[in-house]
Structure 1
Amino acid sequence: MKTIKFLFFLSFAMSWAQQDSRFVKGNRLYNDGKYRAAIESYEAILADSLHSPELYFNLGNAHYKLSEVAPSIYYYEKGLQLSPKNKNIANNLTYAQKMVIDKIEILPEPTIKKFRKSLMNMLSLNSWGVICIVFMVLFVGFFSAYYVSRKSNQKRTFFLLACSFIAITVFCYALVFSKSHALKLESSGVAFSKKIEVMVDPNFRSETSFIIHEGTKFQVIESFNSVWSRIKIANGKTGWIPNDSFKLL
């Protein structure tokens, strides 16, 4: 039986982070096994509102080495937000998630919804917007050609092309609207408290609906009174937890 070894390595990709002395210092401390000191060095960079996938990746690695489940998952997730296709971050996140106590079965999505989501995620919001503009310009061009053309065959061709381009434009606009709406509603968090009782109502006297533990990721649906947030976990269950028990991604 082969032993699967999880090789944690620091990212040295060319970026601003390499030029920051605190990043270099953090890497040196990490390599020396001084993970807490490395974290402090990396966090000093975050304090200056500087962010990069490499920085979050290394922070996640350092916390993982200290067996700190929630921070490691949190920083890997932050890294993936900046670099969604980064395989190193995704692989390390998978290992970190194995330390989470909660094993939540993911609620299956309808096929149509999965297809629409995969289609939206093929391109960024800006890219879909550019495509909308391009096809709108093509529609205007061919409709204008249809309007000024005098030959029936040409008018028919221009009209069909104009109809095709406006249909594609409407389709792309629908994707842009859906993706924009999803991004506004999409707010996720990671549980930081060791154990969190998820309440039926937003008060401590309420009944407990279910329990989650540190490292569990969830969707934040709404907030109440700046103290409570209503969350939804992967299996569809919802409830209220205190805001100081988790961190927003």
Structure 2
Amino acid sequence: MKAFFSAITMIVLLITGSAQAQQAGPQQRFDAANSLYQQSKFTEAAAAYQQLIDEGYQQKPLYFNAGNAYYKAGKTGDAVYSYEKALQLAPGDEAVKHNLSLANQKVSGYVEELPLVFFQQWWQQLQQVHKANGWAVGTVVLFWLLVAGIMLNSFLPGWKNKFLRWGNYALGTLCALYLIMAIDTYLVANNHSQGVIMHSNIKVKTAPDDNSKDAFEIQEGMKVQVADATKDYCKISLADGKTGWVSCNYIKRL
């Protein structure tokens, strides 16, 4: 009888513990994953971070810590992918760049990308001021301010009209800039033409066919540009200009 009640008690405790775990907020779960990492339980920590990511949480610290855990666990492809995602969210973060560089050193045959020129860096920084929705809202607000300014311009005479006209020019310019940035940030956020190879010793083919010749070999963690795709194959290009076809299943899109 005692054994029966002990079993019932154990089941109740397990159910209660499971319910409490489910009720734990994302910050508590993130802290728990950090604790696992500090205990050198890198595989478990990576799994905990990944669960949060799979649930839709998209923060730089989450991807960065996931990259660190994957790196320590020896999962180069997942580490590179996580750092790349963190870098998308925070392009100027030096810690992310440094750790990504360390992870890339583990990628056999890694080809370094050409650095961005200064105006590309400025544009990238400008993209981070708002997300696409923020730029879109700004566009709408500026548009209606411009409409109001144009209407006032037809009623105010003389010198007031002149200053208002220049104000409308400024509003129109800002509105156009916000519209361009809204479109650009939306396209960037939904552009999945880059990816990371998630398997080792992949034979890149000269054509999208299993029977085609091998062009070259790539390793886990290699970042690629996806230029074209069929149902099963993706045409990839590397930073050094090499191109070929691999199974799309080998690529995790950024």
TM-score normalised per structure 2: 0.72
Q: Deviations over 1:196-237 (max 9, x none)?
A: 232232112223344322111123333311x21222323444
Change (3 A) 1:140 1:84: same
1:200 maps to which of 181, 200, 206: 206
* Largest Rg, 1 or 2: 2
2:75 maps to which of 68, 71, 74: 68
Residue 37 of structure 1 deviates from its aligned partner by 3.8
User: What secondary structure is seen at the aligned counterpart in 2 of 1:148?
Assistant: coil
Q: Deviations over 1:49-105 (max 9, x none)?
A: 556544433332222223321122122233444555555444322221221122324
1:96 maps to which of 78, 99, 103: 103
Higher helix share: 2
Aligned amino acid, residue 227 of structure 2: I
Counterparts of 2:52 and 2:161, CA distance in 1: 62
Aligned amino acid, residue 205 of structure 1: N
Counterparts of 1:38 and 1:117, CA distance in 2: 31
Matches within 5 A, 1:208-247: 208-225=214-231, 227-247=232-252
Indicate the larger mover: 213-222 or 139-148: 213-222
Asked if 1 retains the 8 angstrom alpha-carbon contact of 2:91 and 2:124, the reply is no
User: What secondary structure is seen at the aligned counterpart in 2 of 1:185?
Assistant: coil
Residue number in structure 2 paired with 1:9: none
Asked if 1 retains the 8 angstrom alpha-carbon contact of 2:91 and 2:125, the reply is no
Residue 165 of structure 1 deviates from its aligned partner by 2.0
Indicate the larger mover: 232-241 or 192-201: 232-241
Counterparts of 1:97 and 1:70, CA distance in 2: 9
Residue number in structure 2 paired with 1:10: none
5+ residue gaps, structure 1: 1-14
Asked if 2 retains the 8 angstrom alpha-carbon contact of 1:107 and 1:235, the reply is no
Change (3 A) 1:107 1:238: farther
Alignment RMSD, CA only?
Answer: 3.3
How many equivalent pairs are there? 231
5+ residue gaps, structure 2: 1-23
Asked if 1 retains the 8 angstrom alpha-carbon contact of 2:46 and 2:66, the reply is yes
Q: Deviations over 1:138-177 (max 9, x none)?
A: 311221111112x233333323322332233223322322
Counterparts of 1:238 and 1:207, CA distance in 2: 13
User: What secondary structure is seen at the aligned counterpart in 2 of 1:103?
Assistant: coil
Counterparts of 1:50 and 1:145, CA distance in 2: 46
Residue number in structure 2 paired with 1:106: 113
Counterparts of 2:59 and 2:170, CA distance in 1: 42
Asked if 2 retains the 8 angstrom alpha-carbon contact of 1:222 and 1:231, the reply is yes
User: What secondary structure is seen at the aligned counterpart in 2 of 1:140?
Assistant: helix
TM-score normalised per structure 1: 0.74
Change (3 A) 1:17 1:80: farther
Residue number in structure 2 paired with 1:140: 147
1:187 equivalent in alignment to 2:196: no
Asked if 1 retains the 8 angstrom alpha-carbon contact of 2:193 and 2:226, the reply is yes
